[in-house]
Chain A
Amino acid sequence: DSGVTQTPKHLITATGQRVTLRCSPRSGDLSVYWYQQSLDQGLQFLIQYYNGEERAKGNILERFSAQQFPDLHSELNLSSLELGDSALYFCASSPPGGAAYNEQFFGPGTRLTVL
């Protein structure tokens, strides 16, 4: 158990819908990262937040957005869902003080299925 929690564990929804994935980082960690993992694309970095501020952006679609709240939990919002958005979404956190050089601790993931 990494100490990073994600909810829900599984999510099944229809095309065109909107969902929110939630992540709570490890106690004391200020950075939160979101990843998408699909069979054909591997693990893709989406976005990073540090202490409430967006720090780095990867391959995140415009239909997706994220935020980190004052209590440091983060939410990833996916809208106008398409079949291709079906994937495992991971959240990871890392300790403060030079996030570029710190390891990341991954949560258990949320499996999203879009029908």
Chain B
Amino acid sequence: EDKVVQSPLSLVVHEGDTVTLNCSYEVTNFRSLLWYKQEKKAPTFLFMLTSSGIEKKSGRLSSILDKKELFSILNITATQTGDSAVYLCAVKDDKIIFGKGTRLHILP
């Protein structure tokens, strides 16, 4: 059965800390992996990864994919309270499968 598993489920850190969120997957026909940030509304797109070993970076956020080990990580450095959200990982094969998300809470 195709699945996407995110860990940890929940994370609480202090402002300024660095966090690493994990996403592992098992799908039949991998095409791409996407990361989204969801606050109290619709998910907003962060990254799309299709190739192993190439880091995508946007400000304090970065992500990388390992297609051999079937996982991706999302790093957030120098966290801020505005980073508090649920981070969703999704994998596209013939359909789209989302993980249950990691709930990140940043304490001031």
The one of A2, A44, A103, A107 in contact with B98, judged by C-beta atoms closer than 8 angstroms, is: A44
> Which of B41, B43, B90, B99 lies at the interface centre, i.e. has the most chain A CB atoms within 10 A of its CB?
B43
The one of A33, A101, A107, A109 in contact with B32, judged by C-beta atoms closer than 8 angstroms, is: A101
CA distance A35 to B38 in the complex (A): 14
CA distance A96 to B90 in the complex (A): 19
Q: Decide: A101 and B44 in contact? CB cutoff 8 A.
A: no
List the A side residues contacting B36 at CB < 8 Å: 106
Q: Closest CB-CB distance, A26 to chain B, in whole Å?
A: 12
Instruction: Name the interface size band of chain A.
Output: 20 to 34
CA distance A48 to B98 in the complex (A): 15
Chain A contact surface mostly: strand
CA distance A3 to B48 in the complex (A): 19
Q: Decide: B95 and A58 in contact? CB cutoff 8 A.
A: yes
The one of B32, B42, B48, B50 in contact with A106, judged by C-beta atoms closer than 8 angstroms, is: B42
With an 8 A cutoff between CB atoms, is A43 at the interface?
yes
The one of B42, B94, B95, B99 in contact with A109, judged by C-beta atoms closer than 8 angstroms, is: B42
Q: Closest CB-CB distance, A50 to chain B, in whole Å?
A: 13
Q: Mark interface residues in B57-94 (1 if CB within 8 Å of A CB, else 0).
A: 00000000000000000000000000000001010101
Provided the pairs A100-B32, A101-B31 are in contact, do residues A42 and B101 lie with their beta carbons within 8 angstroms?
yes
CA distance A33 to B45 in the complex (A): 15
Question: Which residues of A are in contact with B by a Cβ distance under 8 Å?
Answer: 2, 33, 35, 42-45, 48, 56-58, 90, 100-109
What 18 new A-B contacts, CB under 8 Å, besides A43-B88, A45-B97, A90-B42?
A42-B100, A43-B98, A44-B98, A45-B98, A56-B94, A57-B95, A58-B95, A100-B31, A100-B92, A101-B92, A102-B48, A103-B45, A105-B45, A106-B36, A106-B42, A107-B42, A108-B41, A109-B41
